[in-house]
Each structure stands twice: as C-alpha cells, then as structure tokens.
C-alpha cells in the first residue's frame, strides 16, 4: 500500500479545534450571560440606592465597566493554551505537520475571534435598541469596547480575542516544548521585557501619550499575533511528544 | 523477491540530555507486513516509533518512510497513524468528536469498521475521552489505528488494560483487516506469546540498541532451551552462547543461541536432557537478560 494522495490541510485542523461546539461556542455565551446578570444586579442596586441612571454622569460612570471584557479574557487565553497543549499531540497522531497545525490553530483562533465579534456586535445592537436593556445597564457600550461605536468594537474584540488566544497558544507551545519550566520562563521573560521597555521608554512616555493614536493598538495587536504565532511554530518545531 | 521497504531506520540515535534513548539502530519494515517491536520497558520502543512517525527527529542517523524522511513531510505523515499508549486527546473531546475528526485526516478511513469496533469494544459516548479507563483508551487507539487504513499503522502496546475478550477481538480485527487491506503494521508488545502468530517479522531492542531483526520463521530456529541435571546441561552447552539461565535446585534450564544438528539432538536425548525450540517470548526475555548480564559484567 503506497502513500496517500490527500494531505490534511490547516482547514482540517480548524475542524479539529471547533468540533467541540459546546466548549468553544456555548461557554462564552454563558460567561456573557453571567456577567450580564451580575451587572444588572449591581446596576439595579445602585438605582435603588438613588443613583439616577438616566443622568449623563451616571451613564459615563457605567461605561467604565469593563466586566465582560475581563471575564472573557481569562477564558480566551485558556482556549488558546488548550488549543496547543492538548490538541497538538492528537494532531500529530492523526498525521499533521507542525506547520499545518500552527497555521490551522491560528485560523481556528481567528474563527473563534470572529464569532466573539459577532456576539458583541449583536449585543451592542440589542443594548442600543433597548435603551441599555430598559434599565440603563451598560454591558457592551463601555469605554473598553469602543463606547458604543461599532467601528471600534469590531477591531477591539476581533484583534483583542485573537491576540489573547495567540498568547495562550505560545504559552501552550512553550509547555509542550519545555514542560512547566518553559511556560514559566516565557512568562517571566515577557514580564521582565515589558518592565524594561517601560523603564527605557519612561522619559518619553508623555510625548508618546500626546502623539498616541487608537490605531496604534491595532498595529500592536497584529504584531503580538504575528510574534506569538511565530513563537508557537518555533517551539512546536523543536518539540518531541513524549 | 523481497518486498520494498516501507520503513528504513538507518543508524538512528536519539539523545535526551546525556542519555541515549536509542543508539545506532538500523532495521527495515517491508511494505505489507506486520512487524513486532519487542523489548523490555525502557528499551526504546516508543522512541523508535516516534522517530518513524515523524513525531521526533533522530539526533543522528536517518529514518526513511516510503523513501522519504518523515519529519514535517505532509505526504508521508498523512500516510501514517501512530496512537501512543499514553495518547492525549483535546480537552472536552467526546467519542463522537474523535470519530468526526479522524476521517478528515485519514483518506482511507473506514467509518463502518470504526462503528463496528466501537460497538465491539463497548466504548461509551460519555464521559469525555480524558476520563476513559486505561482499557477504553487502548480500545479507542485501536479504533483509530485500524479504521484509519493508514499505509503505515503503528500501535504502541495497544492491549494495555484490555480484558482477554477485547484483546482477542483486536487480534481478530487486525488479522481480518490486514488480510483485506495489507499495509505496513508496526506494533510494540510485551504479550509476545499472545501476539506471536500475528507477527511476520520482529525487531528486538534493549537499552536503545538493536539486538536482532528477523522474520519470526527464522527466529524460531535461532535458539533452543535445554534442561536437565545441571552438570549434564553445562557440559553439553560448553562453548555455546547462553542467553538465559534458570536454576531450580540441581536442575538447570538454559536458553542457548543457535541450532542443533540431528546428531547433537540425539546426543542430548541420550544424556537425559530435554530439548525444545525457544519460544519468541523466551528469546526476547533471554536477549534482555543476556544484555543486562553483559553490562553488569562490563561494570564489574
């Protein structure tokens, strides 16, 4: 029997990741629902304490609530870690190349980021349509997610999710390559690197802040995604599954 | 005529730190054959299978599958199935996820065979795969390997945790499927007696080194066991390479390399000694013990 003709593509790897629909597609909805419940309780409690939510100052305060972004970010990073740490050995068992697995994982992360973006756009639409859920509740119309402007919301959620998943993936790959010390060393190295960069840039930080443009964040996210994906491939190329 | 090689391992060494897990190993697995990779725990069997399946690279030497090196070679890797004895599955994966995904990676996947095996092994739809018992994980690995119909199918101790009925089912399924769809099967096992009839060739390794590579037919005459009164046995085998020794009181049983001529057999019988061809299981155990003795001798 000779070699087969069809080589699995990165799209097959995407399928491998997203086939567990409940974990990938339902869990984030449950997290958003939980955040919505907590936000609603807090908002109603504030209203009962006499805070007028129709007030512009109160609405401005409510827009400072990044709960949904924070609540999902941990889940998103964990998805990225698991996408590599547990799926990579299975992917090799099925006969995938490391390159194909890395590209497929990046594509899968992009599919999940697009799904998250669609959820947030739909939620923003509902939030604005219902006058903030009929009770002055700010879940998605918050500063961290573009303050109700869909032109900001889409790149923030898509690139933010993809960047966090890519960071998770590179940590998963470091764990596969060097086990726990690998992931820990990478974490420490990133922390020290960021601290040093901040230290070096400190004298010019006011100038940078003055010149800051929002699109810089998008460029930074794309750079993080590219670097993390390259790092993932680099770690996985040298990894032996044992 | 010799079948073309599906797998060629040429002087492969794999080093982890200062330790050689595999050292200068060379062997060939022909196309359309069932080859047993035999050896004690820690002999290097799984490392060799990792090298063959492109899941790892040799530190030196070479591995060729269908004439090409397998590492990061999409064409070759997609022709292989290698499920480890401790195979990890993606988080939150249920059986249905595995059966949904595997056909996308194996061009010749047989869904009907997979369903039949799942049924036969009584693999449950729940819980998640990571909560499967040892036997269930082995059964799932067998389903993946057999149903893949991969031209190179590798099994790493596929019987772990399986009961006698499930093991018999695996042997039957392997034989039947192999007869209908011949391919190169490489499997590691410690249950040599049980699986001997499945194997056409064996590769014996110990401490990372190749001990012997041969057809089971040729190996059958490669050694014999002789037992009787210790002094008579010792006198008879004088000058021959003793692979294994087993002593009970004044009785001695030896596994000895080589074959006996009809005259020598008659001489042994006249001396009241019992002769029998060494079983594959005895031979593998003997080679392991033999090498261990040599190493101890070298250290002394």
Q: From the candidates B69, B78, B87, B177, which should be mutated to test the interface with A, based on the most A CB atoms within 10 A?
A: B78
Same domain assignment for residues B197 and B225: no
CA B158 → CA A52, A85, B171, B195, distances in Å?
A: 68, 24, 10, 11
pLDDT digits (tens, 9 = 90+) for A143-177: 999 988 999 999 999 999 999 999 999 999 999 99
Average pLDDT over residues A58-80: 87
Q: How much is the average pLDDT of A120-127?
A: 95
Question: How high is the pLDDT of residue A87?
Answer: 93
* Residue A4 sits at the chain B interface (C-beta within 8 Å): yes
Closest alpha carbon within chain B to A98: B72
Cβ(B204)–Cβ(B287) below 8 Å = yes
Query: What was the pLDDT predicted at B2?
Result: 64
Question: What confidence category does residue A137 fall into, taking pLDDT thresholds of 50, 70 and 90?
Answer: confident
Residue at A2 is within a domain = no
Q: Are residues B121 and B238 in the same domain?
A: no
Q: What is the mean pLDDT of residues B83-89?
A: 91
| B201 and B231 together in one domain | no
Residue A21, pLDDT > 50, answer yes
Q: Structurally, how many domains does chain A consist of?
A: 1
**Domain annotation covers residue A227:** yes
Q: Which of B186, B219, B252 is the last residue of a domain?
A: B219
A212 touches chain B (CB under 8 A): no
Distances (CA, A) of A59 to A124, A151, B164: 15, 20, 70
Q: Residue B8: pLDDT above 80?
A: yes
A177 interface with B at CB cutoff 8 Å? no
| Contacts of residue A94, Cβ cutoff 8 Å, sequence gap at least 6 | A8, A16, B81, B101, B102, B105, B106, B144
* Partner-chain contact B78 A6, CB within 8 Å: yes
Q: What is the ipTM of this complex?
A: 0.85
Q: What's the rounded mean pLDDT across residues A34-54?
A: 83
Residues B201 and B248 in one domain: no
Residue A237 has pLDDT above 90, yes or no: yes
Q: How far apart are CA A24 and CA A87, in angstroms?
A: 14
Please write the tens of the pLDDT for every residue from A168-207: 999 999 999 998 999 999 999 999 999 999 999 999 999 9
Query: What's the pLDDT at A242?
Result: 66
Higher pLDDT, A135 or B289: A135
Domain that holds residue B47: 5-219
A211 and chain B: CB distance < 8 Å anywhere?
A: no
Question: Could you tell me if B118 and B171 lie in one domain?
Answer: yes
Checking if the pLDDT of A59 tops 90, the result is no
Q: At B295, which CATH number?
A: 3.30.70
Flag if B76 and A237 touch (Cβ within 8 Å): no
Would A172 be classed as within a structural domain?
Answer: yes
pLDDT (tens digit, 9 = 90+) per residue, B260-283?
A: 888 988 999 888 999 988 888 888
With cut-offs at 50, 70 and 90, classify the pLDDT of residue A65: confident
Q: Give residue A103's pLDDT.
A: 96
Best of B52, B67, B101, B184 to disrupt the A interface (most A CBs within 10 Å) is: B101
Q: What is the mean pLDDT of chain A?
A: 91
* Same-domain check for residues B192 and B231: no
Q: What is the mean pLDDT of residues B175-192?
A: 93
Sheet of B5-16, strands arranged across: B19-30, B5-16, B60-65
What pLDDT shows up at residue B182? 94
Contact assignment for B55 to A92 by CB distance below 8 Å: yes
CB contact under 8 A, B90 and A82: yes
Pair B236, B95 in one domain: no
State which of B185, B219, B253 marks the end of a domain.
Answer: B219
Number of domains making up chain B:
2
**Residue A14 domain flag:** yes
Domain around A14: 10-237
Is the residue at A3 inside a domain?
Answer: no
Query: Which residues from B are below 8 Å from A3, CB to CB?
Result: 66, 75-76, 78-79, 151
Of B246 and B23, the one with more pLDDT: B23
B167 and B236 inside one domain = no
Contact between chains at B78 and A22 (C-beta distance less than 8 A): no
At residue B293, the pLDDT reads: 54
Q: In whole angstroms, how far apart are CA B184 and each of A37, A150, B85, B97, B106?
A: 58, 57, 19, 27, 15
Do B105 and B232 fall within a single domain?
no
Distance of alpha carbon A93 from alpha carbon B72, whole angstroms: 13
Name which of A2, A4, A30 to mutate to probe chain B: the one with the most chain B Cβ atoms within 10 A of its Cβ. A4
Among B219, B254, B287, where does a domain finish? B219
Query: Closest to B97 (Cβ–Cβ): which among A12, A20, A89?
Result: A20
Of A16, A86, A95, which is closest to B77 when you measure between CB atoms?
A: A95
In a domain, A94, yes or no: yes
Non-local (6+) Cβ contacts of B45 within 8 A are B37, B38, B39, B156, B188, B205
List pLDDT tens digits, range B214-250.
998 888 778 889 999 999 999 888 888 888 888 998 8
The answer to whether B90 contacts A86, with C-beta atoms less than 8 Å apart, is yes
Contact B66 A2 (CB under 8 A): yes
On chain B, the residues whose CB falls within 8 A of the CB of A87 are 90
pLDDT at A5 over 70: no
């Amino acid at each position: 029997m000779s070699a087969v003709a069809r080589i699995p593509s990165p799209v097959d790897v995407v399928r491998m990741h997203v086939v567990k629909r409940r974990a990938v597609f339902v869990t984030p909805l449950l997290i958003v629902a939980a955040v919505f419940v907590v936000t609603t309780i807090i908002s109603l409690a504030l209203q009962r304490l006499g805070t007028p939510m129709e007030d512009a100052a109160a609405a401005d305060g409510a827009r400072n609530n990044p709960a949904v972004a924070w609540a999902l970010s941990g889940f998103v990073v964990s998805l990225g870690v698991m996408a590599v740490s547990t799926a990579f050995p299975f992917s090799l068992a099925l006969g995938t190349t490391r390159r194909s697995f890395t590209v497929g994982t990046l594509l899968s992360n992009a599919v999940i980021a697009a799904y998250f973006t669609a959820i947030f756009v739909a939620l923003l639409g509902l939030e604005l349509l219902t006058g903030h859920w009929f009770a002055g509740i700010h879940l998605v119309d918050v500063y961290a997610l573009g303050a109700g402007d869909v032109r900001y919301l889409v790149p923030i959620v898509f690139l933010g999710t993809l960047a966090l998943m890519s960071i998770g993936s590179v940590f998963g790959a470091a764990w596969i390559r060097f086990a726990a010390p690998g992931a820990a060393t990478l974490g420490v190295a990133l922390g020290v690197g960021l601290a040093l960069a901040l230290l070096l840039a400190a004298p010019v930080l006011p100038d940078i802040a003055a010149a800051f443009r929002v699109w810089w964040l998008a460029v930074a996210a794309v750079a993080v995604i590219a670097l993390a994906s390259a790092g993932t491939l680099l770690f996985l190329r040298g990894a032996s599954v044992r | 005529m010799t079948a073309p090689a599906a797998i060629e391992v040429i002087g492969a060494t794999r080093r982890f730190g200062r330790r050689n897990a595999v050292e200068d190993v060379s062997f060939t697995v022909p196309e359309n054959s069932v080859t047993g990779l035999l050896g004690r725990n820690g002999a290097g069997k799984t490392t060799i299978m990792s090298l063959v399946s492109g899941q790892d690279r040799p530190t030196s030497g070479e591995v060729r599958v269908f004439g090409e090196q397998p590492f990061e070679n999409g064409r070759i890797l997609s022709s292989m199935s290698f499920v480890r004895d401790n195979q990890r599955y993606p988080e939150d994966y249920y059986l249905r996820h595995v059966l949904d995904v595997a056909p996308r990676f194996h061009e010749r996947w047989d869904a009907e065979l997979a369903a039949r095996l799942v049924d036969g092994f009584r693999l449950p739809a729940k819980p998640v795969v990571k909560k499967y018992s040892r036997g269930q994980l082995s059964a799932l690995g067998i389903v993946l390997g057999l149903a893949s119909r991969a031209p190179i199918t590798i099994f790493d101790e596929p019987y772990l945790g399986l009961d006698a009925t499930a093991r018999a089912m695996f042997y039957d399924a392997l034989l039947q499927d192999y007869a209908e769809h011949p391919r190169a099967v490489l499997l590691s096992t410690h249950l040599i007696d049980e699986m001997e009839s499945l194997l056409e060739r064996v590769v014996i390794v110990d401490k990372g080194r190749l001990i012997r590579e041969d057809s089971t037919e040729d190996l059958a005459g490669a050694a014999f066991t002789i037992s009787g009164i210790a002094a008579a046995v010792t006198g008879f085998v004088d000058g021959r390479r003793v692979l294994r020794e087993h002593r009970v009181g004044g009785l001695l049983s030896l596994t000895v390399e080589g074959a006996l001529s009809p005259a020598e057999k008659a001489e042994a019988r006249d001396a009241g000694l019992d002769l029998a061809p060494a079983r594959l299981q005895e031979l593998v155990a003997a080679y392991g013990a033999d090498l261990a003795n040599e190493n101890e001798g070298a250290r002394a």
